[in-house]
A and B are shown apart, each in its own frame.
Chain A
Amino acid sequence: DAGITQSPRHKVTETGTPVTLRCHQTENHRYMYWYRQDPGHGLRLIHYSYGVKDTDKGEVSDGYSVSRSKTEDFLLTLESATSSQTSVYFCAISDPNREGGETQYFGPGTRLLVL
């Protein structure tokens, strides 16, 4: 299994509070991603990083920010949590596959409940 951990694994918070989720990898992969998964939707990309201090938005980035100060850590911050951000959050890392594309490997996920 790819060396990816996420913390916390579960969190309950109140609307309006800031929340930071951490993703840590031991694989030295360049690319890291944050997704959310909700019933009735496929995994949706929030933000991704292609190197230290290099990040870009995904399709559902509103209300989220990210930071990557080290290769191994990718942080996702909800500046002011809302109930619509209740979800399961997955971090992923990738490396190029043999055909030049990418294969993504996922962390165990963080279940976030915003009350």
Chain B
Amino acid sequence: RKEVEQDPGPFNVPEGATVAFNCTYSNSASQSFFWYRQDCRKEPKLLMSVYSSGNEDGRFTAQLNRASQYISLLIRDSKLSDSATYLCVVNRGGSQGNLIFGKGTKLSVKP
């Protein structure tokens, strides 16, 4: 099993749609989880940290399932500006510097 695995997509959705991404991770010792967003030819930018209880930020909801070792990101009421690649990031546990990045899921929101 790969350390962090994401469906590469692309997910092509109409404006206003709800879309969900899943990410699985292999290291049960992982403690920190994140979703980053990366626009074409730009740097990754932190979208959300994912906490044990799940968290919501406007149209975005992140959830963590430790038992099944997966993280999800839900985007409601998709906007054209949501088009980007979404990176799932997990730490290996232990000291800093131990982040593992998924290859990303590409989202394209169409008018």
Interface residues of A (CB under 8 A from B): 31, 33, 35, 40-45, 48, 50, 56, 58, 90, 94, 96-97, 99-109
Query: Please, which residues of chain A bring their CB within 8 A of the CB of B104?
Result: 42
Query: Please, which residues of chain A bring their CB within 8 A of the CB of B95?
Result: 50
Q: Which B residues, 16 to 52, have Cβ-Cβ distances below 8 Å to chain A?
A: 31-32, 34, 42-46, 49, 51
Across chains A and B, which 3 residue pairs bring their CB atoms closest together, nearest first?
A101-B32, A42-B101, A106-B43
A99 CB to nearest B CB, Å = 7
Query: Please, which residues of chain B bring their CB within 8 A of the CB of A50?
Result: 95-97
Which residue in chain A gives the minimum CB-CB distance to B99?
Answer: A104
A29 CB to nearest B CB, Å = 10
Which residue in chain A gives the minimum CB-CB distance to B32?
Answer: A101
Of B45, B51, B87, B96, which one neighbours A94 at CB under 8 angstroms? B96
Contact status A108-B34, CB under 8 Å? no
> Complex: how many Å from CA A36 to CA B97?
14
> Complex: how many Å from CA A102 to CA B95?
9
> Complex: how many Å from CA A25 to CA B56?
30
CB of B103 within 8 Å of the partner chain: yes
Of A42, A90, A102, which one neighbours B91 at CB under 8 angstroms? A102
A3 CB to nearest B CB, Å = 13
A56 CB to nearest B CB, Å = 7
> Complex: how many Å from CA A84 to CA B71?
33
Of B31, B45, B96, B103, which one neighbours A42 at CB under 8 angstroms? B103
Query: Please, which residues of chain B bring their CB within 8 A of the CB of A33?
Result: 97
Query: Please, which residues of chain B bring their CB within 8 A of the CB of A44?
Result: 101
Query: Please, which residues of chain B bring their CB within 8 A of the CB of A48?
Result: 96-97
Which residue in chain B gives the minimum CB-CB distance to A6?
Answer: B43
CB of B80 within 8 Å of the partner chain: no
> Complex: how many Å from CA A56 to CA B101?
19
